[in-house]
Every structure is written in structure tokens, then in C-alpha cells.
Amino acid sequence: MQNLLHNLNPEQLAAVTLPAQSALILAGAGSGKTRVLTTRIAWLIQTGQISPGGILAVTFTNKAAKEMQTRLSAMLPINTRGMWIGTFHGLCNRLLRAHHRDAGLPQTFQILDSGDQLSFIKRLLKANHIDDEKFPPKTLMYFINSAKDQGLRAAQVDASDDFNRKMVGLYDLYDAQCQREGVVDFAELLLRTYELLSRNQPLREHYQERFRHILVDEFQDTNDLQYKWLKLMAGAGNRRPNAVFAVGDDDQSIYAFRGANVGNMTAFEREFEVQNLIKLEQNYRSHGHILDSANILIANNSKRLGKNLRTDAGHGEPVRVMEASSDIQEANWIIDEAKNLIREGSARSEIAILYRSNAQSRVIEHALFTANIPYRVYGGQRFFERAEIKHAIAYLQLMDNPHNDSAFLRVVNFPTRGIGARSIEQLQDAARLHHISLYAAVPHVAGKAGSALANFVRLIEGARFETQNLPLPEMVRVVLDMSQLLVHYQTEKEGADRIENLEQLVNAAVLFVSEEGFNKEAPAFTGPAVRQPVLLTNGANDVIIDADAALPTVMSPLSAFLSHASLEAGDNQAQAGQDAMQLMTVHSAKGLEFDAVFITGLEEGLFPHENSAQEEAGLEEERRLMYVAITRARKRLYLSFSQTRMLHGQTRYNMRSRFFDELPDESIKWLSPKVQPSWFGQKKSAWDEVPMAGVNQIAQNFSQTSAQQSWRVGQNVEHAKFGEGVIVNIEGSGTNARAHINFGKFGMKLLDLSIAKLEKI
Ligand code: ATP
Ligand code: MG
């Protein structure tokens, strides 16, 4: 027992060994919250207070769940595979699989990730002849998700005006269509589980009886429904409620835009009658200058629960700040600094590049690619979201659940097999008329269209028959062949990558089967405490089987694999592998740590983001995001911004982020002149001398010829809006040429020479 606890400070120790009551650990970044939570699980098991099967632990990502399991197995000689450690979505999926009938779902229900959900909604609007200009699909998606996140079905949403009444109607249609197709979106996983457990008393009591200890990491980012879900699981208000151990940091609440409610922390204290509130104030992650920067920055927020962080690690290196003239130059500077770190012995995976929006990664990726540095992008286009993988998955989904219309539409004519838009329309009409899925409607379509569609159905049925006794990876392989996907990409010009990805899908299946233990000898999800099947009966005499016992039989390897693909696609993490630099948004960096961190694009409008900076609440959330970003770094922190940036096809001229004014001067080292604008600057700084092959050729392109005009530095020009100005620099060439122009009272602008309406004067 000594072993488990000897690495803890007194406050951490107190937290780990609290009695079996609800507790809140409120502490800043890097203070060991996750470590405390994991150690508490181990301690509860080791001291015999609970069996591994009695623990329910909620993490924020699938990756965090895996890591927790790995750490636990290192602490205790147990097999953690079957333990209930996962994200809210993952845990709900597991419950719904086991109790699909009670939840009113088909056994093979499938999960829509957010990309699927959006196309589903577009399809729904079209089928119902709704004007998608008036009712944009994204708005509807947001409407539905936020209603579900609050635990509200369409009938429970208050609609104040015509627009909202229409949205409510569409929400209802959407749910009905999901039900017909046997698909659920992410928010539905939670809501369905919540409804299942609140309505079904024997089932609820069974799980309440079972999960005596519930532990939640990153509690500040739970939304209303998740909080209600926890209350239900814990039996809050029961005579003997379960112990909920919540750890969180109000300063790191960054998901308000998705309905997270930091108020849940205070509600939790009250409603769970928390006797034990523990604060951890020692930071074990970051050096002094980094921690000071984080502390001083976050002190600008007014709504805080209040806590401090200190470190024994010494000041360490100052935070380095870089001002670049363009996003390209920023990227090149990052790469030079990263190369230095690697030369000094840093592992690539210990270097992270963070940005506020995914769109920023392209320039950095390009520079990394050119410099031949391996890197991995977390978030963005993930493996399971690639088009070719989605196609292959759609075939598998149809074999598992033919009523999934999204999957049907994705591949019915891919690769092309002569089923045109007209045939699909006919089929959709038939499906609507008979209230059935597209697959089921095929026999109702006559003529040539009908026989082409029937061939497709035969293909799916054939694939199902051929693969019925095959292990999952072979099944995937057969489907790649039978669907003609491989052949299709062989004939495509850029198909080689896609074929490689499809091969990877077979590997993913191999890995999945071995990790989840799907083989005949060892049924899946049997955890360390091998439990006897628990049989209960409810009022209607239906047999309810405990999820653990039920899973191996109810969830086929294919269904499990398909859930995994959807959940992984929704997660912000990528697969592990070779030593590579880590690129991700600040949001996905939550909970992680790296020796060196670059925070890029620190510009007004970008970070803080223009959508949030307008009002105080939004700005405070942006500041918390910045706090999260800074506190990911152990030893080195780099901040950068750029005067100009190409984003979403537009060039932006940027002021540096206000967050720079909120950092302590003594912890910061400016690598470039602090005064803007600096492209006039005669003074060269170190990075100017770094050769930047083929990229930003500032001051080299003294003249450019656009379609009609030739331009040169020093030229006086007139612009319709900004008036008279003078060209001070030109970069890029041809249609990409852009110029910095000083417009006097309008200041400096960067304009596209091929687009801007400029006259020479
Ligand atoms: P975040 O808020 O970012 O999620 P956290 O509070 O969860 O941070 P952890 O990730 O648990 O913090 O811990 C931060 C780092 O400090 C980890 O590397 C952890 O191993 C280390 N650490 C935590 N407690 C101690 C301790 N008592 N002694 C040594 N190292 C510790
Ligand atoms: Mg943590």
C-alpha cells in the first residue's frame, strides 16, 4: 500500500484516501488532479473497498481513458480491460448496447459522428422540401444538439416564435428519421441512456447498486445533461447515495459553447452535500516563468472560484515571444526552434504546436512537410473521417444494419454502378410512402432502376453471407474486394494513398480485435472481477441482463468495431506511432503535457477569437483557453503572432493579441521588436537571417505584374475605400501577389493585387 501512496503530497494523499462520500477536488492545472483520481481508484480496489467492476470512471477523451487503464495496470496486478472507464459517450454506448431493447433501439444501432449528422440533416431538409437558406442545416444541428444537451426532447422545448416552432418541428422529424434508420447522434447516446435509466426502475437500481464509486475527471466541462446523468447514476437524494469524486478546475472550463456549465461545480457541492472540498496548490508540471505567466493572465478573469498555484521547479527559461510578418514566416520560425530543441535531445513527441482554429494548421503542416519532420495532427481529418474509410465503413454498416439510410446513400452508387439521381428519388418516394428504410423500399421500385438497386441489395446480402463466419479483419478485407472499392481506387489518379488507407483499415480491425479480446476463447469486456450474469426481471417480466455479462453476446465484433470507428472519429485524438511532433487545437490539448509548447496565431480576432471577444463572458472563456494552452508546457513555452495571415481564403491584417499585455514582463523574452508594424524595420533580428527557401520573399519581389498592371514598391495608389496610399512591400507572385500598402489614416493594409481595385496615381 505504501507503494501507491508514497508519491503524493499531503493534500493529494488526503484526497486519495477520503471516505466514501462525495468530494470535490478543485485545483489548477498540473497540480495532479488526474493522478489523484487514478490513484484513488487503485487505492479503493487495493484496500478492498470495492471490486474493479464497482467503479465508474468518466474521462474526457478515449485516449485519456486508455491512459488511465494503463496507469492502473501499472499500479495493481489487475486486468483493467473490462473496467467501466471511459467517456460519457463511450459508457453510454456500452449501456445502450446491453439494453438496446429497453432503450427502444435495434441491436445494431449505429452512431452518427458530427459529419454524418450534418449530412443527415441536409438530407432530411431536402426530403421535406425545406428551404435550407431559411433553416440552415448547421443551425438546426446546433439547435437539436443543444436541446439534447439540456435533456430536452422536441415536445419539451419552448418555442417562442415561428422560426423556433419550425425548428422544434424539424427536431421531431429528425428524431423520427433517426429512429427509422436505427442511428443515434452523440448527444442522443447520453439522452437515451438518461431516459432509459430514469424510466426503468429495476435497471436504474441495479446500476446504482453496482457503481458505488463514481469518479469524474475534467468536471468543469460537464454539460447539464451529463450532470443530471451523474445525479441519476449516483442516486443523489437516495438514503445511501453513491460517492461521486469529482476533480476539476474552473479556470479550465472551455466548452461553454457546447453547453458545458461550470456552475455544475457549485451545484455539485450543494446537491451532493459535499463535505470534502480539497484544493491542490502545488504544480508539478511547469517551470516558474511558465506558471507565473499562467497565473497572472488568469487573474484578469473576474468569475473565479479562487485558488493558487506554486512550483518548486525554479524559474527556468523565459517565455519566448516572436512577431512574424506572415503566417509562413511564423511557421518557419517554429520549425527552426523545434529543430534546435530536437538537436538538443528533445523527442519530437514532446513538442506541441497549438492553435486556436483547425484552419491554421495547414501552413504549419506544409512547413513541417517541407522540412521533412514527422508530425501528427490531432483533430482535423482523422483516420475514420477520411472519405475512403467512410465508404468502406458504410458497406460494413449496411451489412450490420441495412436500414441506415446514410450508409445506403453513401455507397449505393459508389463505386458507380449506374444508379442515378432519378432512381434514388424514386426509391426515396417509395420509402416515404411506406414509412420504411431505403433498403427495404428497393422491391417497390420497378423497371431498370429497380433491377440496378436490387443488384446492390444482392451485393450487400452476398457480402453478409460470405463473411458470416469470418473474423473481423478478414471480413473487412472481403468487403473491400466485393464492394469494388479497391478496384475503383486503383484506377483513380491519386488513389494510391486511399488504397493504403483502406489497407490500414484491415490493420485497424486486427488491432481492435486483439485489444478488445474479440476471439472465441475470450469473450469481450470480461473484466478482472469476472462476474456472473446478473438476471433481473422488471414489471413486464422482461429479463434484464447486466451489461458486462450481456456484451459479448449482444455486441458482435462488427458492431463493436463500428461503434469504435464512430466514437474515435468524434474524439480529438489520433493513433500512436512513430516519434512525431504534435499539432492540435488548444481545445484538444486539454489534460495533456509536453516539454515544449508553441502557441501560435496570438492575434486579435483569432485568439481571442472574434466570435467570443465581443462580450465579457466570451472573452473570459478565451482567456481560460489561453490558460489551458500555457499550462500544457513543462519547460519551454513559445508564443507567436503574425502581422498578416491567409485564413479561409482571405488575408487578414492582425493586431497582436491583448493577452500579451496580460503577461508578466519579467517572464517574457521578445525575440523581435515589440513595436508594430515592423516590416519597415531596418533592424534585422536573428530569424530574418535564417534562409527561408522559396517561401516568403519579402523585399525581394520589388515588382510584380498582375493581369492588367505592374506594381512596384514605392508606387502611389488610390483605393476606393481607403483612399490614397503607398505600396511598401510586395510578396507572392501572379494571382497570389499581395501588397502591404500604407493608407495613412486607415493604416497598413495587406491587399490581394489581383482582386483589390487599385489605381496608380
Ligand atoms: P490538468 O489540469 O492539466 O489536467 P492535472 O491537475 O490533472 O492537470 P496531472 O496531469 O495529474 O495534473 O499531473 C501533472 C504532472 O505532475 C504529471 O506529470 C504528474 O505525474 C505530476 N505529478 C502530480 N503529482 C505529483 C507528485 N506528488 N509528485 C511528482 N509528480 C507529480
Ligand atoms: Mg488532468
Q: Which ligand is closest to the CA of 309, given by its number?
A: 1
Q: Tell how far the Cα of 77 is from the centroid of ligand 2, in angstroms.
A: 24
pLDDT at residue 752, rounded to an integer: 80
Q: Which atom of ligand 1 is nearest to the CA of 38?
A: 11
One of 210, 477, 632, 634 is an active-site residue; which one? 632
Pair 733, 686: CB distance under 8 Å:
no
Is 8 a pocket residue for ligand 1 (Cβ < 6 Å)? yes
Cell of 211: 457503481
Tell me: pLDDT of 210 over 80. yes
Contact 222, 260 (CB under 8 A): yes
Told to judge if 303 belongs to the known catalytic residues of this protein, a careful annotator would answer no
Which mutation among 67, 72, 284 tests ligand 1's pocket best, with the greatest number of atoms within 8 A of CB?
Answer: 284
81 class by beta-carbon count within 10 Å (0-12 exposed, 13-18 middle, 19+ buried): middle
| Residue 548 banded pLDDT, cuts 50, 70, 90 | low
Query: What's the CA-to-centroid distance between 741 and ligand 2, angstroms?
Result: 47
Query: Any catalytic annotation for residue 177?
Result: no
Catalytic pick from 181, 185, 217, 269?
217
**Interval 378-394 mean pLDDT:** 78
34 belongs to the catalytic site: yes
Cβ–ligand 1 distance for 39 under 6 Å, the answer no
Helix (H) or strand (E) segment spanning residue 733: none
SS3 content of the chain, % helix, strand, coil (to 5): 50, 15, 35
Classify 475 as helix, strand or coil: helix
- Compute the distance between CA of residue 404 and CA of residue 293 in angstroms, rounded to an integer: 51
Gap between the Cα atoms of 367 and 373, Å rounded = 9
pLDDT digits (tens, 9 = 90+) for 30-69: 999 999 999 999 999 999 999 999 999 999 888 889 889 9
Return the axis-axis angle of helices 557-570 and 495-516, rounded to nearest 10°.
120
Rounded CA-CA distance 427/441 in Å is 6
> Does residue 30 line the site of ligand 1, with CB under 6 A?
yes
Mean pLDDT on 635-648: 90
Distance CA 73, CA 93 (A): 24
Task: Kindly report which listed range (236-250, 314-328, 491-505, 506-520) carries the lowest average pLDDT score.
Answer: 506-520
**Residues 11, 33, 149, 477: which is the catalytic one?**
33
Residue 426's pLDDT is: 94
Question: ∠ CA 391-395-401 to the nearest 5 degrees?
Answer: 130
pLDDT given at position 600:
97
Range with the poorest average pLDDT among 553-557, 664-668, 698-702: 698-702
Contacts of 64 (CB under 8 A, 6+ apart): 34, 217, 591
Give yes or no: 731 in active site.
no
Q: What is the pLDDT of residue 721?
A: 78
By most ligand atoms within 8 Å of CB, the mutation choice from 285, 287, 624 for ligand 1 is 285
543-545/644-647 β-pairing:
unpaired
Which comes out higher in pLDDT, residue 468 or 704? 468
Report the separation in Å between the CA atom of 36 and the middle of ligand 2, taken as the mean of its atom positions. 9
The helix or strand, by DSSP H or E, that contains position 552, with its residue range, turns out to be helix 547-554
Instruction: Select the highest-mean-pLDDT range: 162-171, 515-524, 666-675.
Output: 162-171
Q: Which of 149, 181, 188, 218 is catalytic?
A: 218
Smallest-distance ligand from the CA of 249: 1
Confidence of residue 21 (pLDDT cuts 50, 70, 90): very high
Tell me, what's the pLDDT at 673? 57
Query: Please, what's the b/e burial string for 436-462 (b: 16 or more CB within 10 A of its CB; e: otherwise)?
Result: ebbbbbbebbeeebbebbeebbebbee
298 grid coordinates: 488568469
C-beta of residue 74 within 8 angstroms of C-beta of residue 230: no
Cβ–ligand 1 contact at 632 (below 6 Å): no
**Torsions phi, psi of 231, nearest 5?**
-60, -40
Amino acid in the structure at residue 403:
H
How is residue 615 written as a grid cell? 462580450
> In this predicted complex, what is the ipTM?
0.99
Tens-place pLDDT, residues 240-275: 899 999 999 999 998 887 788 888 998 999 999 899
- Phi, psi for residue 229 in degrees, rounded to 5: -60, -45
Instruction: Name the residue at shortest CA distance from atom 27 of ligand 1.
Output: 8
Q: How many CB atoms lie within 10 A of CB 422?
A: 9
Q: Three-state secondary structure along 363-407?
A: HHHHHHHHCCCCEEECCCCCHHHCHHHHHHHHHHHHHHCCCCHHH
What is the CA 750 to chain-centroid distance, rounded?
A: 33
* pLDDT for residue 707: 43
Among 306-310, 537-541, 687-691, 738-742, top mean pLDDT goes to 306-310
To the query of whether residue 35 is one of the catalytic residues in this protein, the response is no
**C-alpha cell at position 537:** 426481471
The amino acid at residue 70 is: T
User: What is the percent of the chain with per-residue pLDDT over 90, rounded to a whole number?
Assistant: 56
Q: What is the pLDDT of residue 365?
A: 83
40 lines ligand 1 (CB under 6 A): no
| Binding-site residues for ATP | 27-34
Note the pLDDT of residue 682: 34
Residue 560 has pLDDT above 80, yes or no: yes
* 249 Cα nearest atom in ligand 1: 2
Is the CB–ligand 1 distance for residue 99 below 6 Å?
Answer: no
Q: Which atom of ligand 1 is nearest to the CA of 628?
A: 3
